[in-house]
Amino acid sequence: MPEVVGAEADEGAKPSPALVASLFTIATAQLMLVLDDSVVNVALPSIQRELHVSPVHLSWVVNAYILAFGALLMLGGRIGDLWGRRRTVQVGLIVFVVASLAGGLGQTAGMLIGARGLQGLGAALIAPNVLALITTTFAERKLRDTALSLYGAMSGLGIVIGLLVGGVLTGTLGWRWVFFVNVPIGLLVLLGTRTLIAPQPHRGQLGTIGAVLGTAGTFALVFAITRFGEDGFTDSVALIAVVVAIVVLAGFVRTQARSRNPLIPLSLFRDRNRTGAYLTMLLLAVGPMGSLYVLTLYLQRVRDYSPIMTGLAWLPFAVGIILGAGLAPKLLLAVAPRLVAGVGALLSALAALWFSTITTTSGYWTHLAPPMLVSALGFGLGVMALTQAAVYHVDSDKAGIASALLNSAQQIGVALGIAVLAGVAATITSHSSEAEPAALTDGYSGALLVAFAMLLTAAVVAVLFLRGNTQEPKPTGRSADALH
């Protein structure tokens, strides 16, 4: 029988091997999922040449993953609550590994896009349940905060590492290895799930009507956001998708209010603190991730950086994420969560304002590296505070769906940030009378000012909605002296 890792630990006690394995499993699982958001981007030109993918279909190599991941997160969280979180994570990992293998072996655009959608399904089963398992695997506050810090750090690090790894693998072994690399990583994480402590599955039914409406509404919303980013804010298909999303999600809310087995218990939103965490996460994810997208284009299209150099250029962002995620737990023991999240969002906002001053000749060490560090520091602080607000004080039978909602807010925020900032940049550039490098820079600068406004709004929402104390969360899930 594996060693129990959720038991209360003595202050300063040396971490057990099982505890270390659990921390490694959680961090690696989240890193793998977030990395997959960006690792394929660098390989797109190679994929297009080898598989003869048309430009209209090429973006779906990325979007198929985002759509499936974002649309199925709520369903994945609820499945974990009802059928067992550790088991659901394990099934998700198997799906993800098989899909990654299929993607690497893909011979046509259709096969590759299908594999990416299947990866998104696996990710939707893994992400919310790994986060929910933190509260049952780590019963002691300090250990739980450490695990949450790692989880939050991976949310930002994965994007940067994805750009770097994607460039290296594509330039050396070929684009197929951006998929093959997930196979050994996924199998390693699958082995590590044995150390995670899972509560008993809770009784209840999934609620078929709610599951269908919730998934369809979220799919329509993410699809609309994705289309806006590709084709602009007047795209008729995207506008129709927005209308469909509003109608379907309104019906979904109505069924949840009446259902005995809701996919999303509406009682979760009665906690102003949790609702504020979701809203703040949506806006916070818009800024740093949208800025990363815009500035990656700036580095390659204006400054002529290679894919590998672009990944290396974002290393200050990785440092900032680590600093923010490591500092947040100490701050949250002494400072109100709303202040930590608010300051984090404000730091990211100021970094976006700094970014917006870029020109065609901006120096890396004066206009890019410092705000990269500041933006990531703020993002790390914010994510940690918001994660605590969303998953602490939640009944154990709702922890999976509460985690899924936080993941959904972040995933939709990323898609929204890329769509809005890309649309703003394209609009400004198209109306500019400058030569191409200067016109592109004008567009990117304007988009970054929009990111500043969104992040400033996130700071205000955090201060107004989040709880002003640092109470110890009540225990959730099963006692740590039993394994399942």
pLDDT digits (tens, 9 = 90+) for 323-350: 887 888 888 888 888 888 899 999 999 9
| The domain boundary residue, chosen from 262, 281, 297 | 262
Residue 5 lies in a domain: no
Number of domains in the chain: 3
pLDDT for res 375: 92
Provide the whole-model pTM: 0.74
Contact 292, 313 (CB under 8 A): no
pLDDT for res 372: 92
- Asked if 234 and 334 sit in the same domain, the reply is no
- Asked if 228 and 348 sit in the same domain, the reply is no
| The domain boundary residue, chosen from 175, 198, 221 | 198
pLDDT for res 328: 83
- Asked if 191 and 242 sit in the same domain, the reply is no
- Asked if 188 and 239 sit in the same domain, the reply is no
Nearest Cα neighbor of 354 from 293, 258, 401, 287 is 287
* Token pair listed for 276: 């504020």
Contact 6, 197 (CB under 8 A): yes
Residue 304 lies in a domain: yes
- Asked if 252 and 341 sit in the same domain, the reply is no
- Asked if 90 and 226 sit in the same domain, the reply is no
DSSP-derived 3-state class of residue 10: coil
- Asked if 459 and 434 sit in the same domain, the reply is yes
Residue 483 lies in a domain: no
Check which CATH number belongs to the domain holding 87 and give it. 1.20.1250.20
pLDDT for res 347: 95
Phi and psi angles of residue 424, each rounded to the nearest 5 degrees, phi first: -65, -45
CB burial of residue 336 (10 Å; 0-12, 13-18, 19+):
middle
pLDDT for res 251: 87
- Asked if 256 and 283 sit in the same domain, the reply is no
Phi and psi angles of residue 181, each rounded to the nearest 5 degrees, phi first: -60, -25
Residue 479 lies in a domain: no
Residue 480 lies in a domain: no
- Asked if 258 and 344 sit in the same domain, the reply is no
pLDDT for res 482: 32
Contact 305, 439 (CB under 8 A): no
DSSP-derived 3-state class of residue 322: helix
Mean pLDDT by 10 residues, the chain (484 residues): 41 61 80 78 77 71 79 80 83 94 89 90 86 72 73 72 79 85 90 75 60 80 76 80 89 79 70 83 83 83 81 85 83 83 93 93 90 91 82 65 76 78 82 79 91 93 76 42 32
Phi and psi angles of residue 376, each rounded to the nearest 5 degrees, phi first: -70, -35
| The domain boundary residue, chosen from 246, 262, 278 | 262
Domain that holds residue 57: 15-198
CA angle 275, 123, 281 (to 5 degrees): 25
Residue 417 lies in a domain: yes
Residue 478 lies in a domain: no
- Asked if 288 and 299 sit in the same domain, the reply is yes
